[in-house]
C-alpha cells in the first residue's frame, strides 16, 4: 500500500491523526505541519524527546522583548502566580482542543504588550482576533484580574504592579519560544507546561500575596 500523502513510498507507520498508515518520510516532514498529531502518538513523543536533546538557546534576535531583564528570583518568589497563569493556559487549551503553541505564544505576546504599556501609565490593548489565541488571552486576563481582586480583599500594603505582571508574561513567553519546535501545529510547549505543573491541570492553585512590594 502506498502512502496516501505522497503516493510514492510504502505506507509503514500507522498515523492516529489520519487513521491510516503513512510512510516514515511523510510522518517526519508533515508531522505538526499539515498533520494535527495527537499528543500521545508514539512517533511524536519520540520526536519531541530527540528535539529536547538537540535544544539550543534562542538566538538573541528571536528572544521576545530582548531589552527586558527578568530577575532570576522573580519566578521563584511568585511561583503561585506563575503556576496560576500556567493553569489558565492549560485549562483554556483543554476547552479548545485545536489550540497549539502558536496560539499560546500569540496570546502571551499580545497580553505582554498590554501590560507593558499599562506599566508605563498608558492603556493599549489589541487582543488576538478570534479563535484559540483570543480565548487564551481572555482566560489569562481574567485570571490576572481575579488575582488582583482577591489580593485587594486581603488588605495590607502589598499589591501586584502591572510592570511585574509584564515580567511574568515575558518569562512565560520566552519559555514558550524555547520549548516549541516552530511547527505550526506544535503542542510541545503545552506538553512542557503539563509536565512542569501537573497538579494545576486538575486543581487551580490558591493565589497567595505576591512578595513584590510596591512603594
Q: In 7-44, which positions are buried (b, 16+ CB within 10 angstroms) versus exposed (e)?
A: eeeebebebebbeebbbeebbeebbbeebebeeebebb
Establish if 31 belongs to a structural domain: yes
Q: How many domains does the chain have?
A: 2
pTM: 0.85
Residues 171 and 108 grouped into a single domain = yes
CA–CA gap between residue 121 and residue 118 (Å, rounded):
5
pLDDT in tens, 80-132: 889 999 999 999 999 999 999 999 999 999 999 999 998 888 888 899 998 99
Distances, alpha carbon 135 to alpha carbons 59, 126, 139, 166, 183, in Å: 29, 13, 6, 19, 21
DSSP 8-state code for residue 71: -
DSSP H helices, the chain, are 24-30, 42-54, 72-77, 79-95, 101-119, 131-154, 162-179, 188-196
Establish if 206 belongs to a structural domain: no
Residues spanned by the domain of 113: 60-201
pLDDT in tens, 177-193: 999 998 999 999 999 99
Distances, alpha carbon 142 to alpha carbons 6, 96, 149, in Å: 45, 17, 10
- DSSP-derived 3-state class of residue 184: coil
- DSSP-derived 3-state class of residue 21: strand
Instruction: Give the pLDDT score at 22.
Output: 97
In this structure, what C-alpha cell is assigned to residue 92?
483554556
Residues 45 and 112 grouped into a single domain = no
Contacts of the segment 94-99: beta carbons below 8 A, 24+ positions apart = 94/201, 95/135, 96/132, 96/135, 96/136, 98/36, 98/131, 98/132, 99/132, 99/135, 99/136, 99/187, 99/190
CA–CA gap between residue 159 and residue 211 (Å, rounded):
9
Q: How many CB atoms lie within 10 A of CB 213?
A: 11
For range 24-38, the mean pLDDT: 96
Residues 38 and 64 grouped into a single domain = no
Residues 83 and 119 grouped into a single domain = yes
In this structure, what C-alpha cell is assigned to residue 88?
489558565
Of 52 and 207, which is predicted with more confidence?
A: 52
Residues 73 and 130 grouped into a single domain = yes
Q: Quick check: 90 and 197 in contact, CB under 8 A? A: yes
Establish if 207 belongs to a structural domain: no
Mean of the per-residue pLDDT values for the chain?
87
Establish if 212 belongs to a structural domain: no
Q: Which residue has the cell 500594603?
A: 157
Amino acid at each position: 500500500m502506498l502512502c496516501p500523502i505522497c503516493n510514492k513510498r510504502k505506507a509503514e507507520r500507522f498515523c492516529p491523526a489520519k487513521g491510516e498508515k503513512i510512510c516514515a518520510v511523510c510522518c517526519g516532514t508533515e508531522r505538526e505541519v499539515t498533520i494535527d498529531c495527537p499528543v500521545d502518538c508514539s512517533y511524536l513523543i519520540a520526536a519531541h524527546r530527540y528535539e529536547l536533546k538537540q535544544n539550543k538557546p534562542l538566538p538573541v534576535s528571536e528572544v521576545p522583548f530582548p531589552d527586558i531583564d527578568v530577575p532570576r528570583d522573580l519566578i521563584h518568589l511568585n511561583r503561585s502566580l506563575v503556576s496560576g497563569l500556567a493553569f489558565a493556559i492549560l485549562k483554556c487549551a483543554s476547552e479548545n482542543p485545536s489550540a497549539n503553541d502558536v496560539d499560546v505564544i500569540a496570546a502571551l505576546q499580545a497580553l505582554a504588550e498590554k501590560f507593558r504599556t499599562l506599566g508605563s501609565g498608558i492603556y493599549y490593548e489589541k487582543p488576538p482576533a478570534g479563535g484559540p489565541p483570543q480565548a487564551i488571552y481572555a482566560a489569562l486576563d481574567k485570571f490576572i484580574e481575579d488575582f488582583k481582586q482577591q489580593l485587594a480583599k486581603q488588605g495590607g500594603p502589598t499589591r501586584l504592579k502591572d510592570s511585574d505582571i509584564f515580567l511574568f508574561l515575558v518569562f512565560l513567553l520566552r519559555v514558550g519560544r524555547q520549548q516549541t519546535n516552530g511547527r505550526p501545529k506544535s503542542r510541545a510547549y503545552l506538553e512542557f507546561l503539563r509536565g512542569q505543573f501537573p497538579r494545576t491541570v486538575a486543581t487551580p492553585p490558591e493565589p497567595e500575596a505576591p512578595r513584590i512590594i510596591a512603594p
